[in-house]
Amino acid sequence: MKIFFYTLRPYDELAYAQKLSAELGIEFAGCEDYPTLENAALAAGYDAVSVTPCDMGREMVERFYSLGVKYICCRSIGFDHVDRQRAKELGMKVSNVDYPPRGVANYAIMLMMMSLRRVGHILKRGEVQDYSLKGKSGRDLSGCTVGVIGTGRIGRTVLEHLSGFGCRLLAYDLYPSEEAKKYAEYVDLDTLFARSDVITLHTNATEQNHHLIDAAAIEKMKPGVTIVNTARGKLIDSSALIAALESGKVSGAALDVLENENGLYYYNRSGEPIPNTELALLRSFPNVLLTCHTAFYTDEDVESMVRGVFESAQAFAQGQPTRHDVSL
């Protein structure tokens, strides 16, 4: 069994991969670059490739198949960047990973608090030595109604941790959780929009929920709502969000993920003109916080993601079931 890692980070992932390789007896190699049709040849002779979110559309899947790769192991919870239909047609298995939910959950809560208390704006004014109070007053999270969309492991952890703040908690999910009901009232989506002061997203991206937050959804929300997204950029229509920020309907947004972030986040683009108008506009607002898809990024979570790749590839090779199997 051999795994080739793309975008293998030498400063954190490599040490875990070396440890797990010795522990499980699985060979690996890797490079720091994203996979392309050209450098796909590096994976020739390997059973599996491991990738972070990137372009893994039909052409890339076919290219790896032609090189003998049998498994595509994502080092992320999300797997919507992989053409799983084509992988299925070719008999290729696809997996994702998971990690302890508290890292992302606590990051989302941090973003809520920062957005409500206008911390980004306060810090920027501090950089130019403006220590006046005008325009810095915020809201206390404890007095807010928070709507959580998606009550999987991360969403449930958000609810559990927010319960200690004394918030009123609402939840929406196609498959309600008995555990989440301990902390939140399940409501339909329109009710959640109408009653929430803060809305936080914790669901994977699918064709059905593409642009879940669009102009029509925002119209149903309370004036002055705050929107937090640590899930998937495709869940929010960026143009609709920008219009709502400009009108004041949305009072603040904290976004760890963004539409069209492939080729942007995880790259050093210093000094380059970036062809992403939505990014430029969102960065210009004093009431918007943008972080570059780092909610997951803790030592514990990185080790868990690398381990998930090795365990999934091993399970696939042995014909064993794995909770990480997301093949169609």
Catalytic residues: 232, 261, 293
The set of residues, in sequence order, having a beta carbon less than 8 Å from that of 194 and lying 6+ positions away, is: 220, 221, 222
Instruction: Answer for the pair 3, 309: CB distance below 8 angstroms, yes or no.
Output: yes
β 250-255/71-74 pair status: unpaired
**Residues forming beta bridges with residue 145, ordered by sequence position:** 168
Rounded-to-10 torsion of CA 232, 234, 235, 241: 110
Of the CA atoms within 13 Å of residue 264, those in its CB half-sphere come to: 20
Q: What angle do CA 235, 155, 217 make, to 5 degrees?
A: 35
Rounded-to-10 torsion of CA 84, 88, 90, 96: 50
CA 218 – CA 207 distance, rounded (Å): 19
Helix (H) or strand (E) holding 15: helix 13-24
Instruction: Answer for the pair 52, 68: CB distance below 8 angstroms, yes or no.
Output: no
